[in-house]
Amino acid sequence: MTQTEPQAPGFDHEENVANLQTAGKHTAKTAGKLVSGKIMEPDGKEWSPSSWKLYSAAQQPEWPSLDALESATTRLSSMPALVMPADVHRLQDELARVSTGNAFLLQAGDCSESFDEFSAKAIRDKLKVILQMAVALTYAAGLPVIKVGRIAGQFAKPRSSPTERVNGTDLPAFRGHMVNCELPDLLSRTPDPERLISAYNQSSATLTLLNAFSSGGFADLSHVHSWNLEFVASSKQGKRYNKIANEIDQALRFISACGIEMDSVESLHRVNFYTSHEALILHYEESLTRSDPFSGSWYDSSAHMLWVGERTRQLNGAHVEYLSGITNPIGMKIGHTVTPDELVALCDKLDPQRTPGRLTLITRIGHARIEDVLPPLLETIKKEGLPVVWACDPMHANTITAESGRKTRRFDDILQEIKGFFAAHREVGTWPGGMHIELTGDDVTECLGGLDDLAEDQLHLRYTTTCDPRLNARQSIELAFQVAEMLRA
Ligand code: TRP
Ligand code: MN
């Protein structure tokens, strides 16, 4: 287990108890147990947006000024919600379909979004790749693909050490642009709460663009398909995917030959595109927690879906406490060290009502281990009858260090982990519900292999990630075609 860090200073116990006594007037539908309109935890404590402060919170920055932090969170608390309850509920319903094997989840985007590389083009290209992947997967699975971006809020990173030694001095670790800046000097690395506001503003602008693109002509099925045809035609190696691309082409022509006016069918022109990020910096999430006026329950208005990371999912930790009380669909990353008992206890805390699709278990086990480690976990959850979504994160346990010292990942290892994921589900008789990918729409050189056979000595060419290595656009589309072949097998 990772170590938990001390609570942020200044949030002493008594102050928290005082907060809690005034909170809890709202009700939550899915989390906790309702006792006269209050959410009671099994241990008798009451949930509120700030109840996480009573627990130990790993991975929180050491904010230099608590006044500045309070000033930022106070302003955030009155800002408009970034996502609406109705959309959050729709995603929940769609994930419920995944949990029963009637849909597939594609969750993808940046490892960590950047304040510096923020442009309409970057957002558009990322969405474009995800849509291209979705077309191949939708066709191959014969099922709806639920599209969720790691986008519009994915600005914070957990770190293995709170400090980093640079030229003989210890600097605070870079924790993502929501917290500090990656430049190796003390001023840049000092956490700045104004960055919480900047993260909100960038998320808001990103969402505006995503909404426009996903409901306008950009997301049109025929359009997206024509990009895939270009991809297949763009290289000798791409021809491998000709067959599936041609079948999609034929299917589209068949529909239109049958007299279905493609232009007038609304659903062919638009997609539902959802946002998600790791709920890491709890002051940010708390400040954006709102009550849904219709149901009276709490939801986190910073994204449709939130997940808890492998390093912060302690059963008695602040992150699990916070997520247990919001009604958004929740993801939880799990690595190879999780035990079946621990997993069930976490599911019970995060989803006591066992709501289908509320909980997505995102495994990040590594290509070499997955076929041994995953089946017993699947068996346990199946035996318990928990209606979860299973998704494969084939990125985070397949990170290696190249000779140059750069972090990278092999395309083949990523593919191998997904193969192992499918094999494990086939063995146990459960549904391999989706995948969780780190990618970008740019032509970066961060992961090895793929159609263009990217080699170690090319990594330095366009290595722009602020954190982990991402698949580039071509590698991402190729991955989708490969998984499409698996889904059909
Ligand atoms: N609306 C449908 C869906 O989201 C079909 C669709 C339209 C689509 N444009 C798309 C599917 C782009 C994938 C990608 O599934
Ligand atoms: Mn990452």
Which of 215, 224, 226 is the pocket-test mutation for ligand 1 (most atoms within 8 Å of CB)? 224
Q: What is the mean pLDDT of residues 170-186?
A: 97
Q: What is the pLDDT of residue 236?
A: 86
- Measured from the alpha carbon of residue 218, the closest ligand is 1
Two structure tokens written together for 361? 């278990």
Residue 411 CA to ligand 1 center (angstroms) comes to 26
Q: What is the pLDDT of residue 295?
A: 87
For 55-102, strand residue ranges (E) read none
Could you identify the atom of ligand 1 that is nearest to the CA of residue 221?
A: 9
Could you identify the atom of ligand 1 that is nearest to the CA of residue 132?
A: 14
- Report the sign of the C-alpha dihedral through residues 389, 394, 396, 398, in that order: positive
* Ion ligand 2, residues whose Cβ is below 5 A away: 111, 468
Could you identify the atom of ligand 1 that is nearest to the CA of residue 272?
A: 4
Q: Say if pTM beats, i.e. exceeds, 0.85.
A: yes
3-state secondary structure the chain: CCCCCCCCCCCCHHHHHHHHHHCCCCCCCCCCEEECCEEECCCCCECCCCHHHHCECCCCCCCCCHHHHHHHHHHHHCCCCCCCHHHHHHHHHHHHHHHCCCCEEEEEECCCCCCCCCCHHHHHHHHHHHHHHHHHHHHHHCCCEEEEEEECCCCCCCCCCCEEEECCEEEECCCCCCCCCCCCCHHHHCCCCHHHHHHHHHHHHHHHHHHHHHHCHHHCHHHHHHHHHHHHHCCCHHHHHHHHHHHHHHHHHHHHHCCCCHHHCHHHCCCCEEEEEECCCHHHHHHCEEECCCCCCEEECCCCEEEECCCCCCCCEHHHHHHHCCCCCEEEEECCCCCHHHHHHHHHHHCCCCCCCCEEEEECCCCCCHHHHHHHHHHHHHHHCCCCEEEECCCCCCEEECCCCCEEEEHHHHHHHHHHHHHHHHHHCCCCCEEEEEECCCCCCCCEECCCCECHHHCCCCCCCCCCCCECHHHHHHHHHHHHHHHHC
Regarding the beta carbon of 131 and ligand 1, being less than 6 Å apart is answered yes
Q: Under 8 Å CB-to-CB from 347, ≥6 apart: which residues? A: 359, 361, 381, 384, 386, 388
Domain 13-220+269-488 has CATH 2.30.30.30: no
- Measured from the alpha carbon of residue 136, the closest ligand is 1
Which of 271, 272, 476, 477 is the pocket-test mutation for ligand 1 (most atoms within 8 Å of CB)? 271
Residue 485 CA to ligand 1 center (angstroms) comes to 19
Regarding the beta carbon of 138 and ligand 1, being less than 6 Å apart is answered yes
Whether the per-residue pLDDT at 303 is higher than 60: the answer is: yes
What percent of the chain is modeled with pLDDT above 90?
86
- pLDDT tens-digit profile of 381-419? 999 999 999 999 999 999 999 999 999 999 999 999 999
- Measured from the alpha carbon of residue 437, the closest ligand is 2
- pLDDT tens-digit profile of 420-457? 999 999 999 999 999 999 999 999 999 999 999 999 99
Q: What is the pLDDT of residue 9?
A: 33
Residue 15 CA to ligand 2 center (angstroms) comes to 35
pLDDT band at 262 (very low <50, low <70, confident <90, very high): confident
Whether the per-residue pLDDT at 10 is higher than 70: the answer is: no
Whose Cα sits closest to atom 11 in ligand 1?
Answer: 135
- pLDDT tens-digit profile of 409-418? 999 999 999 9
Q: What is the pLDDT of residue 488?
A: 87
Regarding the beta carbon of 271 and ligand 1, being less than 6 Å apart is answered yes
Domain-wise residue ranges, the chain: 13-220+269-488
